Amino acid sequence: MPLWTGLIPLLAGAMLGASFFMALGPAVVALCAVMLVGAVVAAVHHAEVVAQRVGEPFGTLVLAVAITVIEVALIISVMLAGGPDKATLPRDTIFSAVMIILTGVVGLCILIGGLQHHEQSFRLEGANSALAALVALAGLSLVMPSFTTSSPGGTYTVSQLAFVAVSSLLLWGVFVFVQTVRHRDYFLPPQQAGNEDIHAAPPTVAQAWASFGLLLVSLVAVVGLAKQLSPTIEAGVAAIGAPKAVIGIAIALLVLLPETWAAVRAARADRLQTSMNLALGSALASIGLTIPVVVVAAVLLDLPLELGLAPKDLLLLALACLVSTITLATGRTNLMQGAVHLVLFAAFLFLALVP
């Protein structure tokens, strides 16, 4: 294991701890940003070590679940500290994550893969299963509250929240069972002769466990440093007069950096199946794990929770799902499809700034 892969997560964690006791001046903010980028690079490295040991699709599942669990803890802590003003935070975070992944991450992977390899292929059965589950979860969690009548203003009643929480967790659990046990072959990349990762000797058990521990340290540092940088982001957003929703998007972009980097690296190496596993699996985990925990916290602690999207965001989500369905319909991709996704991603960012 290269020395930097163990040193950077520890330095990033130390920087995170020190930032709680230091004034966030320009120098400290710059150092936090540098450590955040370093933690992202280290997280991707250790995720790939773990993935090489346990194989696909377990490797991509480890990264997706680990960062989602940490992100959920961050959301709950902000909700507890923010009160009524944070009632829409889970909705904004989930919506931003789904849009970033479906349009930005998927589009970037397809575009870079298309430029590098012209056409790429993936298992249609796995991608369609993941997308179907994602559309259902997004519809129940983000779309339906805007149309129900038992509770006003894009909210759910307690019984409706319970139903959505159980449904989300159950559907995510079934998907993980299908992905890792029943139909694992749907999510395995093709065995390509030129792929060095397939023929490389797997790391030892000790190396894999060490990388798993350092992966968790790196992800905690990424999410924590992103949270520490959020006041600077908020000040920048206020300075340019942008809507507050931009803050959630900026933080989501930072938190999703490890998964994005890992997915793009896989696409460049002609392993688009791994990219799809990472992207769609992360989006599913973002809803399937976040909604149940947030619902339990909101009900037990009597926290306000608003999940329904505004009309503009409903249309953007519908477009992202529709285009993703068309893109994943054949099992083969080219750079044109990547360009379409990235245009939608640009529209998502632009309309967040200019609603």
pLDDT digit string (tens) for 230-284?
777 777 777 877 777 777 787 778 778 878 888 999 999 999 998 998 899 888 8
91 part of a folded domain: yes
25 part of a folded domain: no
Q: pLDDT-derived band of residue 71, with 50, 70 and 90 as boundaries?
A: confident
Query: How far is the C-alpha of 136 from the C-alpha of 236, rounded, in Å?
Result: 36
| Confidence (pLDDT) at 198 | 47
How do 332-333 and 120-121 pair as beta strands? Answer: antiparallel
17 part of a folded domain: no
283 part of a folded domain: yes
Query: How far is the C-alpha of 150 from the C-alpha of 144, rounded, in Å?
Result: 12
Name the packing angle between helices 124-138 and 158-177 (round to 10°): 170
187 part of a folded domain: yes
Checking if the pLDDT of 193 tops 80, the result is no
State the CATH number of the domain containing residue 71: 1.20.1420.30
126 part of a folded domain: yes
Domain that holds residue 299: 57-194+230-353
CA distances from 139 to 94, 102, 347 (A): 12, 15, 21
CA distances from 248 to 28, 91, 319, 323, 349 (A): 22, 10, 21, 24, 11
pLDDT in tens, 143-154: 999 999 998 888
320 part of a folded domain: yes
Under a CB-based contact definition with an 8 Å cutoff, are residues 142 and 317 in contact?
yes
- Provide the number of structural domains found in the chain: 1
Name the packing angle between helices 26-54 and 205-239 (round to 10°): 140
41 part of a folded domain: no
- Shortest CA distance to 225 belongs to which of 14, 5, 6? 14
Average pLDDT, the chain: 85
